[in-house]
Structure 1
Amino acid sequence: MSVSISALLLLVLECPVAVSRALPAVGQEGMRDFCVLNARALLRNITSALTQAELFSGIDCTRQNMEVNLNTDTPSVCSPKDSNCSRSTKSDFDQASCLTNIGNDLTHYYTFLYAQPDPDHVLGSSVLQSLRELMETCFKGSVPTELKKAAADHSSTYSERLNLCKVMRGFHVRTITINRAIGYMNSGDHQR
């Protein structure tokens, strides 16, 4: 296990947010039970896609580094109120900023994945579909409208598959953060 993954796992274990409990239906703007369910479906589909040989032939994706979107502050702005992740205590939670950063992350990954060669429709039928559903139902306006699609019959190069692997691994980790944030907002704990 690489150092970056070990550090990430330590951070995840150090800063737990309960999302496995039953979440009450709270009238939060945009964060309803269906958002929690859509976010969980996206996480399941990404986890499954990471094991698909069609996407990563010739690459052991589990041994590759990850590339996360560094253009957002989702992990820091979506950390729970009164949490002490990264050794600093955060006393407030800005829901609008968290939602904006999540929306920007989702748009970033959607744009990237949409442009990938997908001759076997592995991405389109699972990850892109669940990503689009989450964006349309919970993050209105974040689905990009004019995107360039890779040729469906174009086989990906080794370099493209390697890059896809790294980005998908980063998206997997970011989706865990997004699931926790959506669960936290849905629970209403941030308003206490």
Structure 2
Amino acid sequence: FANFNDVASCVLLLSLSWRTSEALPVPAPSPGTGGQCADFYKMLLLNISKALDSIYLSDGIQSEKIEMRNTGETVLACAPTLTQNLGCVTQRNSSFSESECLKNIKKDLLYYHEAIASYLTGPLKNGPEEIRLLSPIVEITKNLTEVCLSCNFFFKIETLRLQVWGNESYNNRLEMNKMMKGFHIRAITINRAIGYISSGDHRK
């Protein structure tokens, strides 16, 4: 576990080191990264932020801890070659791999899709409100994995080590609160990565 603000700051520092193309022709976006798919990634981050701002997921919870999905390597796989060390970022020596980045993004999205969908089938203290907040995230992650990234990679769900929910709504909500904070940070990384891929900088 880590402090939410510290990890978020680290991710934002990483994003500032990523180059953006300026005054150059922008190539056609890679499959699954442009058009409506680009909007889905932005909507995902907005809906996660909305859920975290709601009192219904934090009702009675004082914890500032976050839980990051540690079986993926999205941050490393989606980081372009860095020109400087920012303290919390490990400099990469290898070139950027678009396919490896998208593969890890899809793996993350599948994990969170299944975890949140299964959470909604369990005991909920604020049932209608939690369903209203989290159902759009389930739908967006479904669209991203089944439409935008459908042809990129295939994974067996059982290999993702999914979150297992218990029978106590408070404990489940506590774990969901920590998981959503981690998902928020991961969604920032994903949006930055999709923007980088769409810019075409990695093809120069």
TM-score bracket, normalised by the shorter chain, equals 0.7 to 0.9
- Structure 2 unmatched runs, 5+: 159-166
Structure 2 CA distance for aligned equivalents of residues 159 and 130 of structure 1: 26
Amino acid at match of 2:70: L
Alpha-carbon distance change, 6 to 41 in structure 1, aligned in 2, over 3 angstroms: same
1:41-92 Cα shifts (integer Å, max 9, x gaps): 00000000112222332114xx421111100100001002345452424451
1:162 counterpart (164, 174, 189):
174
In 2, the alpha carbon distance for the partners of 1:115 and 1:137 equals 21
Corresponding letter in the other structure for 1:48? K
Whole-angstrom distance in 2 between the partners of 1:178 and 1:106: 10
The amino acid that maps onto 2:52 is L
Task: Give structure 1 stretches of 5+ with no counterpart.
Answer: 147-154
Paired position in structure 2 for 1:151? none
Whole-Å Cα distance in 2 between the matches of residues 163 and 92 of structure 1? 36
Q: Distance in 2 between matches of 1:73 and 1:3?
A: 20
Give the aligned residue type for 2:190: I
Q: 1:64 to 1:189 in 2, by over 3 A?
A: same
C-alpha RMSD over aligned residues: 3.1
Aligned AA (1:55):
L
Whole-angstrom distance in 2 between the partners of 1:10 and 1:56:
24
The match for 1:37 is: 39
Matched, 1:113 2:116: yes
Q: Which residue does 1:64 correspond to in 2?
A: 64
Q: Which moved more, 1:171-180 or 1:137-146?
A: 137-146
Cα displacement (A) at 1:6:
2.0
3-state SS of paired residue (1:50):
helix
One-letter amino acid of the structure 2 residue matched with residue 106 of structure 1: L
**1:99 is matched with which residue?**
102
Letter in structure 2 aligned against 1:77: A
* Counterpart Cα distance in 2 of 1:163 and 1:138: 29
Q: Tell me, yes or no, if the aligned pair for 2:29 and 2:197 is still in contact at 8 Å.
A: no
The one-letter code of the counterpart of 2:51 is: A
Deviation at 1:114, TM superposition (A): 0.7
Name the CA shift for 1:14/1:76 in 2 (closer, same or farther; >3 Å): closer
Q: Out of 163, 180, 189, which is 2:192 matched to?
A: 180
Give the superposition deviation at 1:183: 0.8
Count of paired positions: 180
Say if 2:74 and 2:101, in contact at 8 Å, map to a contact too: yes
Q: Distance in 2 between matches of 1:156 and 1:123?
A: 20
**Which runs of structure 2 are paired with 1:14-93 in the superposition (5 Å)?**
14-16=14-16, 17=18, 24=26, 26-60=28-62, 63-84=63-84, 86-93=89-96
Q: CA deviation at 1:11?
A: 4.7
